[in-house]
Amino acid sequence: MKIAIVGGVAGGASAAARARRLSENAEIILFERGNVPSFANCGLPYYIGGEITERNKLLVAPKELLEKRFRLDVRTLQSVEKINREKKTIQVKNLADGTVYEESYDKLILSPGASPFKPPIPGVDHPGVFTLRDLKDADMIHQMVQEPDGNAVVIGAGFIGLEMAENLVRRGWNTVVIELADQILPPWDKEMVEPVSQHLKEKGVQLILSDSAVAIEKTENGLSIKLKSGEVIDARFVIMSVGVRPENSLAVDSGLDVGARGGIQVNTNMQTKDPDIYAVGDAVEVVDFVTGHPTQIPLAGPANRQGRIAANHIFGKDSHFRGIQGTAIVSVFDMTAAMTGQSEKALVQKQLPYEKIYTHPANHAGYFPGAEGMSIKLMFAPDTGKVLGAEIIGRSGVDKRIDVIAVAIQAGMTVEDLEEMELAYAPQYGSAKDPVNMAGFVAAGVLRGDHAIVHSNELHNEDFVEHFLLDVRTPSEFEAGHIKGSVNIPVDELRDRLDEIPCDQKIVAYCKVGLRGYIAERILIQSGFDVVNLSGGFTTYQHIHGT
């Protein structure tokens, strides 16, 4: 068995190591276009920023290790240019000397990854405009950032853009982030990332939203970036991080199928329509585990598992990729933003039915020092209560809760299952009613019809303008800021002041996070009022409407 693997990072390296564990006799050749295989691409921004000080640490599985431990034939600086499916050969170009040669294969695994997209604007190919894909890119930027000098401009506020912004600030650069969308992390729901935007600004990042670069010009001491709005920004250099595109040319050229967004199409064994060619990692189209729709999400974890699955299948082991949930996390200075499953935006776009709730719990028991807040948004099926997705932002403990919900989605659990979860509780780690349980309580209450809610994004719709807005927080909370037109009756006084509430009007109750509002709702409903609670309270309201 002769296996040729195109691409030596994540998926390719995993496939190679797995193949070797399954067969000592196979000939396994790993072609890597760059100068090192299997490097830690998720660590590159932190190497640039100086948090990772040793470049060596980025070499997860150095060439020598792959050769010795897994007896792989690792060929760096070699680019696979063509596939001859009939002859089962590939044409390889040695980038070091320009020579071209042919190599045969029994099985071919494509793991070419995805390449950073460079928008076709004038000046985008200037040497001061970087993208960040591999160690070579990282080395160049690393050298550039050593001495802060004017502006560093990041175009695109996705994961890499935000991580780069943080690391440029760490290096002392005056950092400007330009994003086409009206929010950072465009695939996320806007209200959830609002506090992260705020945090970026507090840390000194200049955030320009709803704008884009239309031209980049060379100046005496760097670059000048012209924006669509007319604004012009000087920059010493630019990091272009506006997304990636699957590297599909090899697949397309050899007649393999690709999907609407360019991802190489494979079955659950990671096999293309040519049974001798597999494809894995960021270049393939995958099935969304929640919706069943085709999708394209570059993630390291799934890439690794896909590599394993391809190798398993080559050696006759039945092994299937179950699809992708889109579990992702990003650290932004002192904050963490994480999601799994569908965003509300994605559900709307796919016209799938959903309900949502917001909560703002603390990461652990409030009585133990160091408790920090987080915000959770949970999407679920309005009929079955099946969990469809979640977004969480906060500080400590965000990663734990998103993982717990990710497993719930994998298991097909409902919001009622979240209520019942028995999670580890001691005051340093959580609460007897963990944030995930609490989100479950709220969502299940809504699902069962015990808890009628309204959302902040609907509150100023025509349907609600006639509502009586009841703020049930304390007078001091009310004074510090409230929804315009609301009347303050603290929940603890509510039973004694029912006569102040109109009985011929629908009522929207709200508090800070939704808990007291819910208690108020229960009191009022049982006293004959027609009332709904504002999900996520004034906190979510502020994330949507500002302060």
How many binding residues for its own copies (CB under 8 A)? Answer: 85
Nearest Cα neighbor of 242 from 327, 126, 123, 124 is 124
Instruction: State both tokens at 443.
Output: 């969502």
Strands, DSSP E only, in 185-326?
206-208, 213-219, 222-227, 232-235, 237-240, 244-246, 277-279, 286-287, 294-295
For residue 36, give the DSSP letter.
Answer: S
Q: Output 68 or 87, the one with its CB closest to its own copies.
A: 68
Nearest Cα neighbor of 283 from 244, 241, 339, 323 is 244
Residues 427-446 that bind its own copies (CB under 8 A): 427-430, 432-434, 437
Q: Does 419 bind its own copies (CB under 8 A)?
A: yes
Q: Does 367 bind its own copies (CB under 8 A)?
A: yes
Stretch that binds its own copies, among 124-132, 381-389, 423-431, 538-546 (CB under 8 A): 423-431
**Which residues have a Cβ under 8 Å from the Cβ of 165 and sit 6 or more positions away?**
154, 157, 175, 177, 200, 205
Exactly one of 369, 476, 499, 546 binds its own copies (CB under 8 A); that residue is: 369
Exactly one of 1, 77, 209, 423 binds its own copies (CB under 8 A); that residue is: 423
Q: Does 267 bind its own copies (CB under 8 A)?
A: no
Q: Output 19 or 205, the one with its CB closest to its own copies.
A: 19
Cα separation, 439 vs 371, whole angstroms: 18
For residue 451, give the DSSP letter.
Answer: S
Task: Name all contacts of 327-332 with Cβ < 8 Å and 24+ positions apart.
Answer: 327/299, 327/301, 327/402, 327/403, 327/406, 328/159, 328/297, 328/299, 329/398, 329/399, 329/402, 330/159, 330/162, 330/163, 330/185, 331/163, 331/166, 332/162, 332/163, 332/166, 332/196, 332/199, 332/200
Cα separation, 532 vs 466, whole angstroms: 13
Q: Output 118 or 395, the one with its CB closest to its own copies.
A: 395
Residues 49-78 that bind its own copies (CB under 8 A): 51-53, 57-58, 60, 65, 68-71
Q: Does 103 bind its own copies (CB under 8 A)?
A: no
Exactly one of 136, 228, 495, 497 binds its own copies (CB under 8 A); that residue is: 495
Exactly one of 362, 404, 415, 532 binds its own copies (CB under 8 A); that residue is: 404
Crossing angle between the packed helical segments 537-545 and 515-526, to the nearest 10 degrees: 120
Q: Does 499 bind its own copies (CB under 8 A)?
A: no
Residues 289-318 that bind its own copies (CB under 8 A): 289, 299-305
Q: Output 14 or 79, the one with its CB closest to its own copies.
A: 14
Residues 314-353 that bind its own copies (CB under 8 A): 322, 324-325, 327-331, 336, 338, 340
Query: Catalytic pick from 42, 371, 423, 487?
Result: 42
Q: Does 373 bind its own copies (CB under 8 A)?
A: no
Cα separation, 328 vs 403, whole angstroms: 10
| Closest distance to its own copies from the beta carbon of 384 (Å) | 16
42 given a catalytic annotation: yes
| Closest distance to its own copies from the beta carbon of 137 (Å) | 17
Q: Does 417 bind its own copies (CB under 8 A)?
A: yes
Crossing angle between the packed helical segments 190-202 and 537-545, to the nearest 10 degrees: 80
Residues 4-43 that bind its own copies (CB under 8 A): 10, 20-25, 40, 42-43
Stretch that binds its own copies, among 80-88, 170-178, 241-249, 488-496 (CB under 8 A): 488-496
Which residues are catalytically annotated? 42
